Structure 1
Amino acid sequence: MATARTLPVQNALQLQRARQRRRQTIVTAIALAIIIAAWLIGYANTGSSDAGPYVKNVLPGADRIETRRDLYVGYQGDTLVGYAQVGTASGYGGPVEVLVGIDPDGNITGAQIVGHKETPGFFRLIGRENFLAQFVGLSYKDPMQLGDDIDRVSGATFSAEGVARSIREAVRDLSTSELNASVPAEHRSIKFGIPEATLIALFVVSYFLHKTRRKNVKHYGRWAVMLTGIVVLGFLYNKPFTLSNVVSLLAGFWPDWQDNLYWFLLLGGIFSVTFIQGKNPYCSWFCPFGGVQEILGSFTGAKVYRPRSIYTKLQWAQRVLAFGAIVAGLALRMPGAASYEPFGTLFNLKGSWPQWVLLVLVMLASLVIYRPWCNYICPLGPVVDYVGEVRHWAKDAWKNGKARFSNKAS
């Protein structure tokens, strides 16, 4: 029972919490308004790339080009060389625009990327492996599927699939509209393999381990889950959760679900479990990058660093950094530009020198501080926290609605 002395203290704490909640609500509303404004700016500045200067590259031999809206027709003298058109599909960081040329028989004569929102690193991989050259000579009758008649690009699967789908759509559209060809139906299977199965298993296992009260089971189970995430999602397949995924989702650059089921399982799992359970299973249980930091810290006994004087400021700096990256990604319509995580550098050992410097600094800091990237820099923590905030609003609205209904009924 509260005494007369403790009641004023409790009332003061309740008032303080209420003020904090109001400030947090106001800040969240302002942030949402800015994000919407950035989305509108990016959408207003969206336009197709000018493919005209590249037409002769995909229609070799053409000395004259006629333009009919989005269609290019190439001639050598009076002889028809072929047709060219831009195909568009979503890759890892957003739309990929590929100019494709075909001859009068429906065979691909050339393909060139004329616009994209991907990071330069992904397209360096595609260029290094001469990915586009594989399509030359194929026709609208060929499947043009990764892993079938087109080789995959290790470390750039999403980007490669975006390019392949852009080419498929352009070739099929040209063959139908200009050649009056009977294009065979596109038989597409859902790509479900080891990464997708592992991801589902990790979500399920971490959910039940989180609920168990047996400390040893939870402790060793969490380490098993974390190591699986590092090996499978990190080093074997290099498929971590990045800020580019979030910005792509917000910008509406959703990849094709049959070819990118992993993408939907990852984002859907994180947001739905966080909303239902109130806990983020990915970051704390099986994020590959977080797991590597935790393993390094376990060798030296790294501790959580939360100095009272600056901890709140560090949290706000992390939120502002994540928020600025999201706003920039939406305003520029370039999700790849929003991602500043060094995940790929660690798991595929490829990256620019700033990424290598950042990675080395984080790894060294992990020997002293428990998960320094996760706690003070990673943009995904604030994003998932926002989902938790929406969950809190929904619960409050549900409780208030039930209370009003009960009062009216009584």
Structure 2
Amino acid sequence: MKRKKRDFKSYYLLILFFTAIAAIIYGVCWTAKTIDYSALIKQNIPDVTSIGKIVGTQRAYKVDALGKQYYAVCDSAVGYQSRIETMTIVTDDGLVEKVIVTRQGETPVFFDRLYSQKFFEQFQGLSLREPIYLGGAYGYSGYLAGTESDNYVDRVTGSTVSSHAVAEAVNNGTSYIASQCFNTKWVNPYDTYQLNGKDIAMITVFLIALAAAHIKRLAHFRFWWLLASTVMMGFVVDRFVTASNLFSIITLQIPHLTNVGWYVLIAGSLGFILFLGKNLYCAWICPFGAVQEFLNRAAGFKSLGISPQVTKTLRLAAPTILWAAIMLGTWVGDYGALDYQPFSALFLFKAVWMMWLILPIMVFINLFVNRFYCQFFCPVGFLFNLLSRWRNNGVRVWNQIWNRTLDQLKSSKS
């Protein structure tokens, strides 16, 4: 049997794949941002006379500054698409003096809200003799709920996930300093599970998609289910699979199991591919894909006939743009460049100016070409379809090897 000859597209994709992998390895292993923590302490504490490293499992320091004593501790937590590291400076009477972000790779349009809304200033004066809770974040670990305490910060609306990660990182640090230097121990509420309504809604959406893979009758109701999924995932849960989410897995930016929503979204989508060999997320769950279908059907315009050659060329757009984003992220040391998808603009009404220009163009073309963005530009769809193809080819090869082995065993026995 002749091996199928590779065409230009195959070689082009191979070049993109291997150069992207090389860039990621280089970016993660050799260009990691080096932080001078001592210099950072001196910048934020006046008149420092000495800095001593506290022996232990975490990066913590004892600081003397002209008769005053401080403690500085670093810890981190996973936000929406990156690990956020903070340095918390504590006075000798056990109060938070300042919280500084030392590393993060969140989407700027969302993370900058923490600064503009003065989120970090809320930590000043809070005590490390008890947890610092997070107000206004129902269902998240560390949520204030009915706890009677003034030791809390309010989350920033529209940036709840990043707010939660910062509060968790600060708590991890203050918990350590409290036990090491103040002989105080408390149970960290950010280590407890919180199953909220949004998580339950996501679980329901994924279970129905799973059922649809096995019950053919449900295919008749797909359009109506996409409508429900758009409302649920787009406006109620407002969480989507992005290229940044998938990239965070490669770089091991994985949150604790207390972040149930992250595991439902990411593990569920990848689980469909691993166990079923099907990209059910794009077909049954993705709210932006659903919106495109609604608009295309509602418009009722005659579909534009795109030639096979043009279609073949357009299908190179998604991997090319994804490759460019990875290269840019490696070059500037910030993989926030991977977040160029239109979800936040359409459902959260927050995005960079370029996305506000691209979104209406995509929507307009979609009136004539159904799921135009999904077909030719979506990095998640491209990656999920690629993983599905790899998985199914691998299973097919394994079955062939297994069946051949069984045949050989049978023939040897006979």
Give how far 1:136 is off: 1.8
| Secondary structure, aligned partner of 1:309 | helix
Tell me if the contact between 2:131 and 2:175 (Cα under 8 Å) persists in the aligned partners.
no
The aligned residue for residue 41 of structure 2 is: 55
Give the distance between the partners of 1:332 and 1:107, measured in 2 at CA: 36
Residue 67 (1) aligns with residue 51 (2):
yes
| Secondary structure, aligned partner of 1:382 | helix
Task: Please point out which of 14, 36, 41 is paired with 2:26.
Answer: 41
TM normalised by structure 1 equals 0.85
| Secondary structure, aligned partner of 1:99 | strand
1:67-216 alignment to 2 at 5 Å? Answer: 67-69=51-53, 71-77=60-66, 79-146=67-134, 147-148=143-144, 149-177=152-180, 179-187=181-189, 188-214=191-217
Give the distance between the partners of 1:285 and 1:230, measured in 2 at CA: 10
Cα distance change on mapping 1:142 and 1:363 into 2, 3 Å = farther
Stretch deviating more after TM superposition (144-153 or 23-32): 23-32
Give how far 1:21 is off: 7.5
Give how far 1:305 is off: 5.2
Give the distance between the partners of 2:4 and 2:240, measured in 1 at CA: 37
Tell me if the contact between 1:240 and 1:287 (Cα under 8 Å) persists in the aligned partners.
yes
| Secondary structure, aligned partner of 1:101 | strand
Deviation by residue 1:177-220 (Cα, 9 ceiling, x = unmatched): 3x142321324321222222122211221222243333xx4232
Over 6 Å off, 4+ runs: 21-29
Stretch deviating more after TM superposition (285-294 or 135-144): 135-144
Give the distance between the partners of 1:285 and 1:262, measured in 2 at CA: 18
| Secondary structure, aligned partner of 1:19 | coil
The aligned residue for residue 218 of structure 1 is: 219
Tell me if the contact between 1:247 and 1:329 (Cα under 8 Å) persists in the aligned partners.
no
The aligned residue for residue 339 of structure 2 is: 339
- Quote the RMSD (CA, aligned, Å): 2.7
Give the distance between the partners of 2:304 and 2:381, measured in 1 at CA: 16
Give the distance between the partners of 1:68 and 1:389, measured in 2 at CA: 54
Give the distance between the partners of 1:212 and 1:306, measured in 2 at CA: 33
Give how far 1:99 is off: 1.9
Give the distance between the partners of 1:277 and 1:21, measured in 2 at CA: 28
The aligned residue for residue 138 of structure 2 is: none
Identity rate, percent: 25
Deviation by residue 1:49-73 (Cα, 9 ceiling, x = unmatched): 33445436754xx422422355444
Tell me if the contact between 1:342 and 1:359 (Cα under 8 Å) persists in the aligned partners.
yes
Deviation by residue 1:24-57 (Cα, 9 ceiling, x = unmatched): 8877766554344223211222244334454367
Aligned pair count reads: 387
The aligned residue for residue 298 of structure 2 is: 299
| Secondary structure, aligned partner of 1:364 | helix
Matching residue's letter, 1:176: S
Give the distance between the partners of 1:233 and 1:244, measured in 2 at CA: 18
Cα distance change on mapping 1:104 and 1:313 into 2, 3 Å = same
Give the distance between the partners of 1:31 and 1:192, measured in 2 at CA: 40
Give how far 1:359 is off: 1.4
TM normalised by structure 2 equals 0.84
Deviation by residue 1:279-332 (Cα, 9 ceiling, x = unmatched): 211112121111122211121125375422211111122222223434554676
| Secondary structure, aligned partner of 2:365 | helix
Deviation by residue 1:373-394 (Cα, 9 ceiling, x = unmatched): 1111111111002211221232
Tell me if the contact between 1:155 and 1:238 (Cα under 8 Å) persists in the aligned partners.
no
Give the distance between the partners of 1:153 and 1:164, measured in 2 at CA: 11
Give the distance between the partners of 2:236 and 2:344, measured in 1 at CA: 12
Give the distance between the partners of 2:6 and 2:277, measured in 1 at CA: 18
Give the distance between the partners of 1:402 and 1:27, measured in 2 at CA: 33
The aligned residue for residue 7 of structure 1 is: none
Give the distance between the partners of 2:116 and 2:219, measured in 1 at CA: 45
The aligned residue for residue 348 of structure 1 is: 348
Deviation by residue 1:240-279 (Cα, 9 ceiling, x = unmatched): 1111101111111112220x21111111111111232222
Tell me if the contact between 1:251 and 1:330 (Cα under 8 Å) persists in the aligned partners.
no
Cα distance change on mapping 1:334 and 1:251 into 2, 3 Å = farther
Matching residue's letter, 1:200: I
Cα distance change on mapping 1:273 and 1:365 into 2, 3 Å = same
The aligned residue for residue 394 of structure 2 is: 394
